[in-house]
Structure 1
């Protein structure tokens, strides 16, 4: 029988036949692509904030955000300066045709002198384990990152000398019924009287209904901040407030002065973007 190969038939290949160079190139490209995808996935898990794949609305995400703020207040303890008002920002795009909104809530905290890293590390250790909280150093300073679940991100970043802002953020979501802060203010706390005392010594009339921000603590208690945005002008001085403090100041910088009493923490913030006076009671 002739060994000639018939026209139209591929020559037989055995186990020892060499792999064509094109096949080797495709194999190498496939391996490289798989490694790249694995690297990108690992980087995303480590660095990226949660995304909103399930498209839960602000009204559905609001209770989780409120609980997360309570966890932050409890973890920060006496370092808490104030709870800042919730922010709902509309205008982000879910799709080219659908508009959404972002809900964020923040807690301001103060570090001891040269104690910024210790503050954030302690916070990360005390937050729920499944948040996977961690602290790292970036070119812009220390950062705390955590995942509160259901695509809600928690971050901590510098907000002035020895101050940090801990923020809970939903990312862009459908608005739904919107966000309403839980009504935990049925009974006024000591923070109202402390704010009134601070305004009195500064020579400013007390507000009848100061702005109130609350958070339910993990133990069932309620943390509260009352704040006055009254323009204090030249009356925003430290000297009249000092006698109200129990012990020395908690914070004393060019833009902020904070002190504690037996019942609350009082903050005088004179920064240009948000001057105000606030009094806060925290979780027990």
Structure 2
């Protein structure tokens, strides 16, 4: 039989030779695997050596300390222009980090009572005392003054009016992966707790448990607030009566039957709501 190949026909592939299509498929699979290995290696290196470029790269437990430090710095920035008190943290779950991943948002805040009603002036003073790299500024939003700042690592700071003669300063993470979760800083608030309980005893009503809140100070130490709610005595009776000792040599910013604010060795805030009085006794960070 002649070995000539008939025109119009491809020579047959021997059993020991892969078809051209199979060779291409093998090269494609090998190149894909190599790319996947390279991408995984670059990702591993980036996670361990590169700073985060989006907030989704920092979980809630990693962002929490940034929030705590920012809150402490805000208490220092208030100075003696107001009476600050830390608020309980708020965690909102169920937000979407990506279309496939759930997350959570942490927000912490501090309420501030002013001597007068000039909210913009206080917000501007706070903004002026914050670090330059926070790029803090006060603008107007919906006719109201609004402080905005960046505490770093995608943690946002805002300040706005919280009612007549009040300012609310907040620090928020935005939606993040939960990670190990947020753990609030603990603090020994013996003196603040004792002062809050002493005020409750002077009103003579049954007091609820004391809630202690804390935030890290820029120069070390912690800001602390002890909160308690108790019966407030007869309607119209002055709240200041429970704090006469603490008021010695201190600056009283508010003094009425329904509200009392003192800045001295402690920052004291008391307000009457119906037949109850809410008391917050705080030690703040130093500027």
- After TM superposition, the score normalised by the length of structure 1 is 0.71
Q: Deviations over 1:50-103 (max 9, x none)?
A: x95443110010011111111111111232320111111112122343221110
Quote the Cα distance in structure 2 between the aligned partners of 1:253 and 1:151.
Answer: 41
Paired residues of 2:206 and 2:231 also in contact (CA < 8 A)? no
Going from structure 1 to structure 2, the CA distance change for 1:276 and 1:114 (only over 3 Å counts) comes to: closer
In 1: Cα distance, 2:206 partner to 2:236 partner: 14
1:236-251 to structure 2, matched below 5 A, reads: 237-239=237-239, 240-241=241-242, 243-244=244-245, 245-246=247-248, 249-251=252-254
Among candidates 144, 149, 152, match of residue 152 of structure 2? 149
CA distance in 1 between counterparts of 2:162 and 2:259 reads: 11
Greater Cα shift, 76-85 or 234-243: 234-243
Matches of 1:271 and 1:160 in 2, distance apart? 15
Q: Which moved further from structure 2: 133-142 or 170-179? A: 133-142
Q: Tell me the CA shift for residue 233 of structure 1.
A: 7.8
Residue 207 (structure 2) pairs with residue 198 (structure 1):
no
Q: What is the CA RMSD across the aligned residues, in angstroms?
A: 2.7
Q: C-alpha displacement at 1:234, in angstroms?
A: 5.4
Q: Which moved more, 1:132-141 or 1:161-170?
A: 132-141
Cα drift, residue 252 of structure 1: 4.5
1:158/1:54 CA distance change after superposition, 3 Å: same
- Structure 2 residue 120 is the aligned partner of structure 1 residue 117: yes
C-alpha contact (below 8 Å) 1:58/1:177 kept by paired residues: yes
- 1:223-262 to structure 2, matched below 5 A, reads 223-230=223-230, 232=232, 237-239=237-239, 240-241=241-242, 243-244=244-245, 245-246=247-248, 249-252=252-255, 256-260=259-263, 262=264
Q: Do the aligned partners of 1:211 and 1:227 also contact (CA within 8 Å) in 2?
A: yes
Contact between 1:73 and 1:80, CA under 8 Å: does it hold in 2? no
1:28-107 aligned at under 5 Å gives the runs: 52-78=54-80, 79-107=82-110
The one of 106, 130, 133 equivalent to 1:130 is: 133
Kindly tell me: are residues 254 and 170 of structure 1, through their superposed partners in 2, closer, same or farther at Cα, counting changes over 3 Å? farther
Contact 1:154–1:168 (CA under 8 A) maintained in structure 2: yes
Q: Which runs of 5+ in 1 are unaligned?
A: 1-50
| Partner SS for 2:182 | coil
Deviation for aligned residue 1:248: 6.0
Residue 251 of structure 1 deviates from its aligned partner by: 2.5
Instruction: Give the Cα–Cα distance (whole angstroms) in 2 for the partners of residues 224 and 144 of structure 1.
Output: 24
Shift in Å at residue 257 of structure 1?
2.4
Equivalent in the alignment of 1:177: 180
Do 1:236 and 1:270's aligned partners in 2 also have CA atoms closer than 8 Å? Answer: no
Q: Closer, same or farther in 2 for the Cα pair 1:229/1:100, shift >3 Å? A: farther
Number of aligned residue pairs: give it: 229
SS across alignment from 2:184: coil
The answer to whether the 8 Å contact 2:119/2:161 transfers is: no
Give the structure with higher Rg (CA).
2
Give the TM-score normalised by the residue count of structure 2.
0.71
